[in-house]
Amino acid sequence: MSSKKIHILGICGTFMGGLALIARELGYRVSGSDQNIYPPMSDLLEEQDIKIIKGYEKEKLPEADIYLIGNVISRGNESIEHILECNLPHTSGPAWLSDNVLKDREVIAVAGTHGKTTTTAMITHTLMGLGKDPGFLIAGRPKDFPVSAKLGKDKIFVIEADEYDTAFFDKRAKLIHYQPVVLIINNLEFDHADIYSNLNEIQKQFHNLIRTMPSKASIVFPEEDKNILQTLEKGVWSKKISFNQKGVGLNSFERINADFSHLKFHINNNSEEIKWGLIGEHNARNAMVALLALEHFQIPLSDSIEKLSSFSGVSRRLEVIIDKAGLILFDDFAHHPTAIKETLRGLRARYKENRIIALIELRSNTMKSGFHDKSLTKATSDADLVFWKGENDVQLNKLIDGSPKKNNYLITTIDSFVKDFKNNIIQDKDVIVMMSNGNFDGLSGALKSNI
């Protein structure tokens, strides 16, 4: 047990908040600062009696043995300037985790543009169901266990491996710090337009990690992803484990029903079926890489399938918010054209006869940049009505005018939209899905109160 004090800047971020929980388990006294104190991390931290200070004014900064700096913190921040001026001990969250936890563990790192949170939670849930006590750090709130991060007693540590930069003083991707024995790359597309200029820059960050992996390690990936294959062509020194979704070859899966809630997996000459509560092709792929990662640890496929079948999902991943009188409202984290397309495709497969209404907020830096505007309206082809919200009405109106389908509309204010939506738009048996990586200006609460 340590009596040392850690203070975390940017503690309400899902990664840094998870670090707080792990540091607390290690015996550190933990506190943190953030400008915006918001769920889900604020709730988790309060449940663990971890003090959160609102704001970064230097007079609010408590004494600590070391300060962990989140990647949302930049130069000019009062607390940072004070830490640097006084030469106080500080490091990044990923570096601290690597030095204090991961160096002695067998790490499963879940990377890629989409599906990281769900896949990390799937693997963790399955291991726990098998009676193991893995360490884990998930950038979301799993429905099947009460915390998003835990030290664990077993050797395995499962981590969501983000390609976002580490800190203002370390512009490498966070995932470079994680030393995995199994690296999952779910998919690879351009994202994070605020720090990357093109896809090639992201591919370089992934390959930097691959170059550090030992020959006994494994890299799990879909064989159809050209961007991943291009990255691997730069050189691989670990075992490559690929799969397809055609139901052929050594590792593959096939759907048995239209919405992917009944699947058959083929792994290393073993085949097993699963029936579960999740839908969508993307979740089938998430399950496939999870099962392949578990195979690395000689866990029988039948055992993994049995435990995975009870997986409930993660908050804000097609989470049901309202289900009454035949009307259903989902909340989803989709904030990229591919994720939006797959979410809507999954809903269309499940709700063939229902009208599907998509409410989409352009909140991420990449979405706001306009980089994906051409592919956004194509991504919503399975929706009957689409409503867009963002900071730039000019961008949104251009996007709406360019849509091949005249079913796209602008949300100007939440209050006016909710009133009009309730009185003039929604019908019995509508399936509504909100998609944003933020809080959509409180739309979820407003709809729950008014529908």
Q: 108 and 87, same structural domain? A: no
Q: 109 and 40, same structural domain? A: no
Residue 371: predicted pLDDT: 61
Q: Is residue 54 one of the residues assigned to a domain? A: yes
The arithmetic mean of pLDDT across residues 55-65, rounded, is 97
Q: Is residue 371 one of the residues assigned to a domain? A: yes
Q: 262 and 115, same structural domain? A: yes
The arithmetic mean of pLDDT across residues 89-94, rounded, is 98
**pLDDT band at residue 369 using 50, 70 and 90 as cut-offs:** low
Residue 17: predicted pLDDT: 95
pLDDT digits (tens, 9 = 90+) for 293-313: 999 999 999 999 999 999 998
Q: Is residue 201 one of the residues assigned to a domain? A: yes
| Boundary-marking domain end, from 273, 288, 308 | 308
Residue 315: predicted pLDDT: 84
CATH number of the CATH domain containing 422: 3.90.190.20
Q: 446 and 388, same structural domain? A: yes
CATH number of the CATH domain containing 86: 3.40.50.720
The arithmetic mean of pLDDT across residues 57-81, rounded, is 97
Q: 327 and 181, same structural domain? A: no
Q: 112 and 82, same structural domain? A: no
User: What percentage of residues in the chain have a pLDDT greater than 70?
Assistant: 97
User: Using CA atoms, how far apart are residues 387 and 446, in angstroms rounded to an integer?
Assistant: 16
Residue 2: predicted pLDDT: 59
Residue 74: predicted pLDDT: 96
**pLDDT band at residue 373 using 50, 70 and 90 as cut-offs:** low
Q: 160 and 215, same structural domain? A: yes
User: Which one has a higher pLDDT value, 1 or 305?
Assistant: 305
Residue 271: predicted pLDDT: 95
Residue 317: predicted pLDDT: 83
Q: 391 and 346, same structural domain? A: yes
**pLDDT band at residue 325 using 50, 70 and 90 as cut-offs:** confident
| Boundary-marking domain end, from 59, 93, 127 | 93
Q: 351 and 278, same structural domain? A: no
Q: 251 and 160, same structural domain? A: yes
Q: Total structural domains in the chain?
A: 3
Residue 241: predicted pLDDT: 97
| Boundary-marking domain end, from 93, 109, 134 | 93
Q: Is residue 176 one of the residues assigned to a domain? A: yes
Residue 365: predicted pLDDT: 65
Q: Which residues pair with 220 in a beta bridge?
A: 184, 241
Report the amino acid identity of residue 348. R
The residue range of the domain holding 172 is 101-308
Share the mean pLDDT of the chain: 93
pLDDT digits (tens, 9 = 90+) for 239-286: 999 999 877 788 999 999 999 999 999 999 899 999 999 999 999 999
